[in-house]
Amino acid sequence: MFDPPFTLQCPKLKSSAGFDWPLDRALCVYEIKHTPSLSKPDIYPKPETETIIYYDNHVLCTYLLKEDGTFSPKYYTCPPSFLNDYSFTGATSNGLLHFHNRDSSAHALWNPTTNEYKILPIPEPRPKNLEEWRLRAFGMWCDHKFEDIKVMQINILNLADQVHCFFDQFSLYSLKTNSWRLISLCTQFDYDLFVCACISGVVYCRACDRKNGVMVIRSFDLSTETMSTLPSPELGGNICKIFECNGLLSVVALFFDEDSVPCKFQLWTMRDGSWIMESVFHTRGVRRMLWLSRDGKLLYFVSMADELVVFDRSIGKLKHLGVNCFSYEPNIIPFVESFGQLNGISHVEEVHSQFLMLYPLYKL
C-alpha cells in the first residue's frame, strides 16, 4: 500500500449500499506521473468559464466550472414530467440531452435551455420480448454541416440464455427525416458496450477481434458514417472508460484491491497512433470516477460517502464540492446553452395541454 503525502478525512464514510467504510482508509487521491515530458498544450481555446451539468436522480444542476475545479451553482431544473419514466443515457451534443425508456424502447431529446422535448419514433427491429435486450449504448451528434441531429443506438441481445452482441447492424436516427435506419457493421468484432463513448461526433467502443481475440477500439464517425479500427491499450480485463483529454483520445482504467474496492486508476493517451500510460492515480475512499475535464487537469470522483470530490492535477490536491450523490451513476458533462428548435413540445405547451384536458371549457 502506498504512503500518500496527505489525506482528506470524511465525517461519515457510508456507502450507498449502507455499510460503513473503515476510517483508516481516508479519502485520498495521489498521482504518479509516468510521462511528464509528453505533456501537450491544450489545443482548445480556454474559455473564461466553462459550463457543466450534473444530472442525478432526475434533477439537472447547471454549474460554472471555476479554475480550481470547484462549482459555482447557476441554476437547477427538472426534466418535463413525461421523462420521469426515461433514463438519461449520458449522450449529449450542442445543449441537447438524450433519454431512453428501456421498457418501451422509446427515445426522447430534451433541450434544458428552452425546455423543449421531442419524442422520437421507436427504432426497428424490436424484439418480441423486451427483456431480451440486455444492454444498449448510445451516441449523439449535432451535425452543423448538414444541419442535422443524429442519435446512434447499439444493442446487446440475449436469446436462448446466450448473450451475444447484435454486432452486424445498429440503428441511426436523423432529425431531418425523423426516422431510424439500420447501418451494417463488420461481423469480425464483438463490442463491449460497457466501454463506449461519443466524443466530438465519433462513437468509440472497445471490441474484441473474433479472429485472434485481440482487443481493439472501433470508432464510428456520425458525420461521415464511416468506421475504423484503433489499437487498445493493454488493460487486461480491467474496467475502463473513454474520454477526451487535450484533444486526444484517452482511456482511464480502473483497478481493484483484494476487497474489490477501487484502489488505482491508470490514464492512457493515444499519441501518434500509440498508447502511452501518462499517470497512475492511487486512491482511497473512492468508489468510481465520473469525469476527466477536457484539458486533463481535473478528475472528478464519487467518494465512499457518496459525495463528489475533485482532484486538481496541477497542484495535486483533492477538494470537496459539497454535492451529494443520490443515485449510483450520476453524470457530469460539459454543457452549452442552445436555443435550437427540435420541432417538439415545450414544457409550457405540455402544462397548457394538461390544463385544457382537465378544463376543456377554457378552450373558449
Position 13 pLDDT exceeds 80:
no
What domains are there in the chain, each with its CATH number? 42-234+286-363 (2.130.10)
Q: Are 159 and 129 in contact (CB under 8 A)?
A: no
* Residue scoring higher pLDDT (330 or 42): 330
> Beta strand 106-111 with 116-120: parallel, antiparallel or unpaired?
antiparallel
Q: Residues 6 or more apart from 83 whose CB is under 8 A from it?
A: 58, 99, 108, 110, 117
Q: Which three cell numbers stand for residue 117?
A: 422535448
Count Cβ atoms within 10 A of the Cβ of residue 243 and give its class: 0-12 exposed, 13-18 middle, 19 or more buried. buried
Mean pLDDT confidence for 68-80 = 88
Q: Which of 203-207, 224-228, 237-241, 347-351 has the lowest mean pLDDT?
A: 347-351
Percent of the chain with pLDDT over 90: 24
Q: What is the pLDDT of residues 226-256, one digit of tens each?
A: 889 999 998 876 788 899 888 889 999 988 8
The whole-number pLDDT of residue 12 equals 40
pLDDT of residue 291 exceeding 80, the answer is yes
Tens of pLDDT, residue by residue over 312-345, are 998 999 999 989 888 877 889 888 888 877 876 6
For residues 363 and 54, give the distance between their C-alpha atoms in angstroms, rounded to a whole number: 39
Sign of CA dihedral 295, 296, 298, 304: positive
Position 362 scores a pLDDT of 35
- Indicate the SS3 state at residue 348: helix
Please tell me whether the peptide bond between 231 and the residue prior to it is cis, using omega within 30 degrees of 0. Answer: no
Local confidence band at 129 (pLDDT 50, 70, 90 cut-offs): low
Picking from 95, 89, 94, the residue whose alpha carbon sits closest to that of residue 107 is 89
What pLDDT sits at residue 207?
Answer: 87
For residue 100, how many other CB atoms are within 10 A of its CB?
19
